[in-house]
Amino acid sequence: MRHITAKLRRLRDALMGPQTLAFMPAICLSAYWFGGETALVIAALLIPALFAAIGTLPSLASSFTRDPTQARDGLTGLPLRPTVIDALDQILDSRDVTGRTTACLVIDLDDYRALEANWGADAADNMLKTIANRLVNTLREHDVVARLERARFAIGLAPVRRADLETLIQLASRLQAALSEPYTLNATKVYATCSIGFCMPNRAPACSGQAFLDAAEIALLDARHNGPGSIRAFTPSLTPKTLDRGTILADVGDALENGQIVPWFQPQISTDTGEVSGMEALARWHHPEKGIINPGDFISAIDELGLTERLSEVILYHSLMSLKTWDKAGFHVTSVAVNFSPSDLANPKLVDKIRWELDRFELDPSRLSVEILESVIASSDNDTITRNIWALKEMGCGIDLDDYGTGHASIANIRRFAVKRIKIDRSYITRCDLDRDQQNMLAAILTMAERLELDTLAEGVETVGEHAMLAQLGCGHVQGFSISRPMAFEKTLEWMDVHKRKLAETPRIGKRAS
């Protein structure tokens, strides 16, 4: 029906153009010659009526397809995927006549799953409503904003004369700025970032709304692989970097065993000395066809298949082997941090497995930091988890409390689980150099940590300003894109060598700066 609407629209544009109006005198004269005054009167009455009817045909045809494209999202009130596709189709179908074109952008909130898990479904829903309102208010009246899924939104631009790279990057940046303003979740100010992919008319794989939207989503996936807050334009060389659910379930087991899933490492830096104080191990899947696949795209499949324990074994083995290799190369990385899931921590054999691996590589237990989520210690009443964590602490391993500030961990639970270091969630870090409220919150957390004799690490540090402010407030360590993105082991040696040389040339900004 959409194609019929388009054809009727083109018919209307052709019949109601100036070339048709030029024949009007000839039509009336012919009516008079063949039928006299009666035929002339009939022609004079019917022709305008016919033109009016032709003008309404596209709208009449569109009414038959209005239901699916006018469906609304129950939470945000925005239209859904079919609406933005239909809007793009209408503009593309008439661009030869109007001389105007369109473009499609797809926006995805970074780390939405973590926000939802940390703050709760109700708070996350309120955040999505706010995002929807901000997008609508930032755009023009006739631009179409639709919700695709979870925290992903699509934008179909109303007809424009030009939709080039510079224009769309400026628009994407303006949208990011609107969404970067703070949100209030459970009476707490929270910052978030978004990634954006877009498709320009001259690079679209086909002249259809579906093709534009698909291309923008492919660009978004590429942007997400570049880290939070990225913007990416679609090019024909881009290919989808995600696998369908069935393929992931079929392939992930073999990927674990044949070395495709390995840790990448993100450096942790001392704010006091600027030296590398540790590395965090983050699972990555190096797929032979799709390239690097982030854990968000395959961890749920590993959980579903019951392979979480095997994943932890693989990541631990490669992390300790990397630690040993760094030592041999002359780079002393104090410790490597490995995340263990609640099911790992509930395994009675966990401590023995970790001890065996440390012995195998002849590493002191203090070289391993065991990361546990704040939600685990806030809600866990599993005695096995408590015993395992205490046994690891007694062995000499460090206990890191991940995503601190997003859960409800009490001081009593921090003591109960022998936490050595808290990792402050990046929602408290974003724009901390510019936002006084963020600074006050961080100061309170850091003061508490100092009184409890806990070490501190800030996650998600993305700017030099944030790094400097954290050092000034007394945070012990920082980690984030401003220092380095996660990297494969093969790149860590070169990175540490470059960092060591830069360190000698860079003024210190920590407590020893003077």
Is 12 domain-assigned? Answer: yes
Is 292 domain-assigned? Answer: no
Asked if the model's pLDDT at residue 297 lies above 80, the reply is: no
Domain-ending residue, one of 63, 91, 114: 63
DSSP state of 108: E
Domain co-membership, 193 together with 102: yes
Asked if the model's pLDDT at residue 169 lies above 50, the reply is: yes
Domain co-membership, 58 together with 74: no
What mean pLDDT do residues 477-495 have? 94
pLDDT score for 118? 78
Instruction: Report how many domains make up the chain.
Output: 3
> Alpha-carbon distance 451 to 460, whole Å?
24
For residues 39 and 401, which has the higher predicted lDDT (pLDDT)?
A: 401
Is 248 domain-assigned? Answer: no
Domain co-membership, 203 together with 91: yes
Residue labelled with tokens 């498709």: 199
The Cβ of residue 413 has, within 10 Å, a number of other Cβ atoms equal to 19
Domain co-membership, 331 together with 472: yes
| pLDDT tens per residue, range 369-397 | 999 987 777 766 778 888 999 999 999 99
Beta carbons of 432 and 441 less than 8 angstroms apart: no
Q: How are beta strands 194-199 and 104-109 bridged, if at all? A: antiparallel
Domain co-membership, 42 together with 176: no
Alpha-helical runs (H) found in 396-488: 411-416, 436-451, 464-473
In SS3 terms, 465-503 reads as HHHHHHHHHCCCEECCCCCCCCECHHHHHHHHHHHHHHH
> Alpha-carbon distance 376 to 357, whole Å?
24
> How many angstroms separate the most distant Cα atoms in the chain?
110
**Residue 2: band (very low, low, confident or very high) from pLDDT cuts 50, 70, 90:** very low
Most confident of 114-118, 145-149, 297-301, 303-307: 145-149
> Alpha-carbon distance 322 to 328, whole Å?
10
Query: Which range (82-86, 232-236, 402-406, 440-444) has the least confidence?
Result: 402-406
3 state SS of 72 = strand
Is 144 domain-assigned? Answer: yes
Rounded to the nearest integer, the mean pLDDT of the chain is 84
Beta carbons of 260 and 288 less than 8 angstroms apart: yes
Asked if the model's pLDDT at residue 239 lies above 70, the reply is: no
Across the strands, what pairs with 232?
197
Domain co-membership, 361 together with 395: yes
CATH number at residue 323: 3.20.20.450
pLDDT score for 96? 72
Domain co-membership, 218 together with 274: no
pLDDT score for 342? 87
Asked if the model's pLDDT at residue 3 lies above 60, the reply is: no
Is 244 domain-assigned? Answer: no
> Alpha-carbon distance 157 to 163, whole Å?
9
What mean pLDDT do residues 8-24 have? 55
Domain co-membership, 194 together with 139: yes
CA-closest candidate to residue 190, choices 444, 438, 439, 491: 438
CATH number at residue 147: 3.30.70.270
Beta carbons of 290 and 242 less than 8 angstroms apart: yes
> Alpha-carbon distance 62 to 66, whole Å?
6
Across the strands, what pairs with 101?
160
| pLDDT tens per residue, range 105-126 | 999 998 888 788 778 889 999 9
Domain-ending residue, one of 63, 84, 105: 63
Q: How are beta strands 276-287 and 291-293 bridged, if at all? A: antiparallel
CA angle 333, 266, 435 (to 5 degrees): 115
Query: Which range (93-97, 332-336, 366-370, 471-475) has the least confidence?
Result: 93-97
Instruction: Count helices and strands (H / E) in the chain.
Output: 20, 16
**Residue 1: band (very low, low, confident or very high) from pLDDT cuts 50, 70, 90:** very low
What mean pLDDT do residues 209-225 have? 90
**In terms of C-beta density within 10 A (0-12 exposed, 13-18 middle, 19 or more buried), how is residue 409 classed?**
buried
3 state SS of 25 = helix
Asked if the model's pLDDT at residue 26 lies above 60, the reply is: yes
Beta carbons of 210 and 87 less than 8 angstroms apart: no
> Alpha-carbon distance 426 to 442, whole Å?
11
Domain co-membership, 494 together with 417: yes
Asked if the model's pLDDT at residue 70 lies above 80, the reply is: no
- E strand residue ranges, 322-444: 336-339, 368-373, 398-404, 421-424
Is 245 domain-assigned? Answer: no
Domain co-membership, 336 together with 353: yes
Asked if the model's pLDDT at residue 24 lies above 70, the reply is: no
Domain-ending residue, one of 63, 85, 100: 63
For residues 21 and 385, which has the higher predicted lDDT (pLDDT)?
A: 385
Domain co-membership, 195 together with 281: no
Domain co-membership, 224 together with 327: no
Beta carbons of 268 and 277 less than 8 angstroms apart: yes
Backbone angles phi, psi at 466, to 5 degrees: -65, -45
Q: Is the whole model's pTM more than 0.85, yes or no? A: no
| pLDDT tens per residue, range 174-208 | 999 999 999 988 878 888 899 999 999 888 888 89
What length is written for the chain?
A: 514
The domain containing residue 27 runs over which residues?
A: 2-63
pLDDT score for 439? 93
Is 355 domain-assigned? Answer: yes
Is 440 domain-assigned? Answer: yes
